[in-house]
Amino acid sequence: MMFATAPRRRLSFLAILTILSTFVLSGITTAAHADEIMDRVNSGKSIRIGFANEVPWAYPGENQKPLGFVNAITMGVLKSMGYTNIEPVVTDWGGLIPGLKANRFDVITGGMYIMKNRCDNVNFSEPIGVFGECFIVPKGNPKGLGSYDDIKTKNAVIVTGAGYSTIENAKRAGVPAGNIMTVPGNSEILAAIKAGRADAGGMTYFSALHLSRESGGTVEATDPSLNPEWTFNWVGVGFRKADTEFLAAFNTALKAYLGSDEMMKAVQEYGYGNSQLPGDVTTAYVCENR
């Protein structure tokens, strides 16, 4: 009896160990793959969205209220997902990706182009729009600068923002590094043009249009179609690499929201229209080709 009973007890003990080990390992796996955003939401904390002062893309209003069409789209999608506890965090443009990676916020808006080097650091949502680049130039465009090729052939100086895709695009077009000036953001770009320290200010068409209106007629925006097709870019909302579960849910909600009457009404005041809708282009494609 003793020999018959002992093996049965041993098997039962091993079975218990196996079951316990499975639960422990399962718990470890779940913890390792848990989204930080989901953890915050489930614990009753806010979703922190980071953005810079980039009119009309994303910028702070009174009490740092998130304004701009990228913020409008992002908050519209989050609301459709049932999330309304949103905390805006305003920073400089160059601090968006480092701040996201350092867990200072959970989502970055700001009108950030989806680019291969950025895709290595953050996960982007599916595109929320497609946009071209142009310049602000002194009224009348005295040097006739409409494209990166013009900048190169006329040995002009272009000023742009630190971290802007304009820097890499100018280099790709053959503009010498010595002809590319970088400043913190759009207000400094405008100041450089007004002071005559640069001949053209490189930025997105929406930003250039806004600055031309705010400048009192001292600068004007060039036609983005004068630049080559490869300068057109798609914008996405940025997430940490670990937050894959939340990103998947966001993309599902984005697909239903993008181009809807509700969305188009929310972004109309910022100048976003049907021509900015991204169509069928995917983030995977853009990460490989931009």
> What is the pTM (predicted TM-score) of this model?
0.73
Q: How far apart are CA 56 and CA 125, in angstroms?
A: 20
| One-letter amino acid for residue 280 of the chain | D
* Cis omega (within 30 of 0) for bond into 60: no
Mean pLDDT of 208-220: 93
Answer whether 125's CB lies under 8 Å from 85's CB: no
Residues ≥6 apart with Cβ < 8 Å to 268: none
Write out pLDDT tens, residues 252-271: 999 999 999 999 999 999 98
Domains and CATH numbers, the chain: 38-130+234-289 (3.40.190.10), 133-231 (3.40.190.10)
Residue in the block written with tokens 């990228």? 70
The answer on pLDDT for 243 being more than 50 is yes
Whose CA is closest to 151, among 205, 200, 224, 190?
200
Write out pLDDT tens, residues 6-59: 444 444 544 444 444 444 444 433 344 468 899 998 899 999 999 999 989 999
How big is the chain, counted in residues?
A: 290
DSSP 223: P
